[in-house]
């Protein structure tokens, strides 16, 4: 957007005409008559109309520079303070169990339910830096902390089971997430860990990783995923089994308590959605934002035109008198 900061400068537009109108005429000395010289000899007077045109353009350019034209770019929102939040997602083989029943009665696997809920959760975290950690046989950082929520959503969408093994390295997932916060200067640091089992792999004990997170002022929320009952077909009939019998709720609760967080249990997609809504309320989005617009001062361009035309007038005066 283009605008002038000092519009009052345009009030000076008729000033040259007023000076010309009310100033006293200059008395010219008596002219000395000289014999008429042959054509081509002597100084020729320039066309005064061109002088007036150049002077008018120079005056307009000077007033334009004085009015201080400024070009403003599109508004840019910045967050003076932000929260760093890492999502640690279990990719072990048990996440393929189809025991998550939707409100419509459809059974979907655990990872699909997690993706659906997390996608909506990420979309709402405007102003936060988000990152994604995945763990199975080992843990690794899939997406470093970023304000680009679309990137985090895309990386989550592309996750597939079996990518990094079938086991559950909860300790490594927590350790990598906590290590990511070492260089973070955010006043709030949060890890949301989601798992459906117990720690069965990795070289880091989950409680030791939680202790490291607590020392770094990181809050951990843990979520246990999986139904408590599931009908399983046998050769002759069906039987009721507990597909979440390997879920270590005691350990997940301890991890959360050590860091000032909380443990939640999700038996179906709706409960999982409610949990993330509750976490969203417990860790509210930072609404303190500042908006600024890039600005570019343009006065130098009309000022340069004024100086150039002034030099042209001086040269014409010296040449033609």
> How far apart are alpha carbons 78 and 97 in whole angstroms?
42
Please tell me whether residue 9 adopts helix, strand or coil conformation: helix
H or E element at residue 64: helix 48-66
Report the alpha-carbon distance of residue 11 to residue 86 in Å, rounded: 59
C-beta separation of 225 from 114 below 8 A: yes
Flag residues of the chain having pLDDT under 50.
Answer: 34, 37, 40-46, 288
**Within a 10 A sphere around the Cβ of 180, how many other Cβ atoms?**
19
Alpha carbon dihedral 92, 96, 100, 106, in 10-degree steps, equals 160
What local confidence, expressed as pLDDT, does residue 319 receive? Answer: 72
What angle separates helix 170-180 from helix 206-215, to the nearest 10 degrees? 20
Give yes or no for a contact between 54 and 312, defined as CB atoms under 8 angstroms apart: yes
Q: What's the whole-model pTM score?
A: 0.65
- Residue 117 backbone dihedrals phi, psi, to 5 degrees: -70, -45
Cβ–Cβ under 8 Å, residues 292 and 76:
yes
CB distance 223 to 194 below 8 Å: yes
| pLDDT value at residue 249 | 94
pLDDT number for residue 40: 47
Q: Can you give the pLDDT at residue 37?
A: 47
């Amino acid at each position: 957007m283009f605008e002038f900061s000092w519009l009052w400068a345009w009030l000076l537009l008729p000033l040259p005409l007023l000076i010309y109108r009310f100033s006293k005429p200059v008395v010219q000395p008596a002219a000395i008559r000289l014999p008429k010289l042959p054509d081509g000899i002597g100084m020729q007077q320039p066309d005064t109309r061109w002088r007036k045109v150049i002077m008018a353009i120079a005056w307009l350019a000077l007033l334009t520079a004085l009015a201080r034209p400024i070009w403003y770019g599109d508004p840019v929102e910045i967050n003076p303070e932000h929260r760093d939040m890492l999502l640690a997602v279990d990719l072990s083989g048990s996440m393929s169990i189809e025991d998550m029943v939707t409100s419509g009665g459809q059974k979907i696997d655990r990872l699909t339910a997690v993706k659906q809920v997390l996608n909506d959760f990420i979309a709402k975290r405007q102003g936060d830096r988000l990152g994604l950690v995945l763990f199975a046989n080992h843990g690794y950082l899939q997406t470093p902390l970023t304000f680009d929520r679309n990137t985090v959503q895309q990386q989550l969408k592309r996750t597939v089971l079996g990518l990094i093994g079938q086991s559950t390295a909860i300790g490594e997932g927590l350790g990598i997430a906590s290590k990511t916060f070492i260089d973070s200067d955010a006043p709030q640091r949060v890890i949301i860990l989601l798992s459906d089992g117990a720690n069965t792999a990795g070289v880091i004990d989950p409680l030791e990783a939680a202790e490291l997170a607590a020392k770094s002022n990181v809050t951990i929320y843990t979520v246990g995923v999986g139904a408590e009952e599931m009908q399983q077909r046998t050769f002759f009939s069906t039987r009721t089994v507990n597909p979440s019998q390997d879920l270590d709720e005691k350990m997940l609760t301890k991890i959360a308590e050590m860091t000032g967080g909380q443990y939640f249990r999700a038996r179906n997609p709706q409960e999982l959605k409610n949990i993330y809504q509750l976490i969203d309320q417990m860790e509210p989005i930072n609404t303190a934002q500042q908006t600024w617009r890039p600005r570019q001062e343009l006065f130098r361009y009309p000022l340069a035109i004024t100086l150039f035309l002034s030099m042209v007038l001086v040269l014409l005066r010296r040449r033609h008198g």
